[in-house]
């Protein structure tokens, strides 16, 4: 385009008179004006009607002026002007369309919602900030690595846009490790679940003990919080003077000890599409079954499990536990005619039955005799609180305790079935309901995906 300033142009005058004047008075026809293809010049011409060899022409450079600027979406208008020196010719203008420019978008920006459930893509026209293209989409969510009790996990949100101008966005987030096991965490091999918290391991770090001794106010459950870990203390009442904690520290009677509250590890007995039947992998505490009777529905151990234990172990999260209809029928005991069998109960926490502990589907040996499948170790906590803990056997069995089943023995009203330190199901001495040295091995049903 030729856009010379108006004053700069010098009209190119080329009046051509091709024949002698005066032969006649010219009788001029209509002037024609012809624009160059690029509108840079305009030529005026008139021809004598009396003699078409008589012509007057003038070619001038044009000036250009923008009348209306084109925008992103609207065409503009430009105007070429031709000014002739000959008075015979009339100044001419030619308007041209200036095609609209289209948007000139800047780089897109992407904004995630606070909950990462949606992502908004946006781009703004550099010519006009009111020209905005925007698209908000719902994201998809995928866990990449599940969080565990020990380690953070990760997950990714992905946002896919329909507008080709926007590219797929991903946002990685950290799933914080669940140090208190407020949710169930299944092990990689599917054999154990960590869920709930309970005092277990003796604290033998003397500087930590002295820090713990300075804390006066307990938090949850009478537990004490220090550096984001929970601790509990108890005055030791060991069942035997020769008992030791797992690290070899002798347990002194009437001494106060601190214990770290750790995630409870449960053995998976069955998994039915996310419904898990779990039994504790350790003997977590000690409690007598009852004062005098072996009827589970009225037993003090049942109250303790569903009140004290439940409210302690799951104080920080219990959403996945569901109430179990516990089968207390005679069929779950040693005799179909067991007159001490009681009605079914509805419990959050209970104990496996005599029959459960012989169920091969749960991984237990099908007989009542010694079996490692039923052996279970006492925790430091249970040992300090008076649980029997084997310490004279071969090393593999040291630390194992005796523990209750929920099942009454058919032969006597104050005796239940128990499991011994070699995994024997027994009813001999020590399985009377008021025995104070038998441990508790809780069981729960939970649901999670
Ligand atoms: Zn003429
Ligand atoms: Zn625009």
Closest-CA residue to 425 (of 382, 362, 374) = 374
The pair of structure tokens assigned to 51 is: 């003699």
Sheet containing 63-68: order of strands = 63-68, 76-82, 92-98
77 CA distance to ligand 2 middle (Å): 18
pLDDT for the residue numbered 260: 98
Which value, to the nearest 10 degrees, does the dihedral of the CA atoms of residues 209, 213, 215, 219 take? 70
Between CA 239 and CA 246 the distance in angstroms is 15
Number of residues assigned to the chain: 449
Assessment of whether the complete model's pTM goes beyond 0.85: no
Mean pLDDT over each residue of the chain, to the nearest integer? 93
CA distance 76 to 78: 7
Closest ligand (CA of 20): 1
pLDDT classification of 221: cutoffs 50, 70, 90: confident
Q: Which residue has the tokens 């609209």?
A: 100
5 Cα: distance to centroid of ligand 2 (angstroms): 30
CA of 164 to the centre of ligand 2 (A): 17
- Other C-beta atoms lying within 10 Å of the C-beta of residue 189: 7
- Report the pLDDT averaged over residues 367-385: 97
Which ligand is located closest to the Cα atom of residue 23? 1
CA of 84 to the centre of ligand 1 (A): 21
CA 22 to ligand 1 centroid distance, Å:
9
Q: For residue 78, report the distance from its CA to the centre of ligand 2, in Å.
A: 20
Ligand nearest to the CA of 106: 2
Residue 401 CB coordination number (10 Å):
27
Q: Which numbered ligand comes closest to the C-alpha of 17?
A: 1
- pLDDT for 76-131, tens place per residue? 999 999 999 999 999 999 999 999 999 999 999 999 999 999 999 999 999 999 99
Question: Tell me: the pLDDT tens digits for 189-203?
Answer: 999 999 999 999 999
């Amino acid at each position: 385009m030729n856009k010379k300033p108006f004053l700069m142009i010098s009209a190119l005058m080329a009046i051509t008179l091709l024949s002698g004047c005066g032969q006649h008075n010219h009788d001029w026809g209509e002037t024609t004006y012809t624009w160059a293809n690029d509108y840079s010049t305009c030529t005026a011409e008139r021809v004598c009607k009396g003699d078409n060899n008589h012509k007057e022409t003038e070619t001038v450079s044009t000036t250009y002026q923008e009348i209306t600027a084109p925008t992103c979406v609207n065409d503009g208008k430009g105007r070429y002007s031709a000014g002739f020196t000959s008075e015979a010719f009339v100044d001419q203008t030619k308007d041209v369309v200036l095609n609209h420019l289209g948007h000139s978008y800047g780089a897109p920006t992407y904004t995630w919602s606070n909950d990462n459930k949606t992502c908004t893509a946006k781009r703004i026209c550099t010519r006009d900030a009111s020209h905005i293209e925007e698209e908000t989409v719902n994201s998809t969510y995928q866990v990449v690595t599940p969080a565990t009790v020990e380690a953070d996990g990760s997950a990714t949100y992905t946002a896919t846009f329909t507008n080709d101008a926007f590219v797929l966005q991903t946002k990685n987030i950290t799933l914080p490790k669940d140090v208190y096991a407020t949710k169930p965490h299944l092990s990689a091999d599917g054999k154990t679940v960590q869920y709930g918290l309970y005092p277990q391991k003796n604290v033998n770090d003397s500087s930590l003990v002295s820090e713990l001794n300075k804390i006066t106010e307990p938090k949850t459950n009478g537990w004490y919080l220090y550096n984001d870990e929970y601790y509990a203390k108890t005055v030791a009442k060991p069942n035997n003077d020769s008992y030791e904690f797992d690290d070899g520290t002798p347990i002194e009677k009437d001494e106060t000890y601190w214990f770290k509250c750790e995630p409870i590890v449960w053995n998976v007995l069955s998994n039915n599409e996310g419904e898990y039947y779990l039994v504790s992998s350790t003997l977590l505490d000690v409690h007598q079954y009852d004062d005098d009777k072996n009827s589970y529905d009225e037993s003090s151990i049942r109250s303790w499990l569903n009140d004290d234990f439940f409210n302690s172990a799951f104080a920080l999260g219990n959403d996945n536990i569901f109430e179990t209809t516990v089968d207390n029928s005679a069929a779950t005991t040693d005799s179909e005619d067991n007159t001490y069998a009681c009605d079914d109960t509805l419990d959050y926490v209970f104990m496996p039955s005599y029959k459960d502990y012989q169920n091969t589907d749960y991984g237990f040996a099908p007989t009542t005799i010694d079996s490692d499948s039923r052996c279970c170790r006492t925790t430091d906590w249970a040992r300090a609180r008076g649980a029997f803990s084997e310490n004279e056997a071969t090393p593999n069995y040291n630390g194992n305790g005796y523990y209750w089943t929920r099942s009454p023995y058919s032969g006597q009203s104050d005796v239940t079935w128990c499991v011994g330190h070699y995994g024997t199901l027994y009813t001999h001495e020590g399985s009377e309901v008021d025995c104070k040295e038998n441990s508790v091995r809780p069981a729960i049903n939970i649901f999670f995906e």
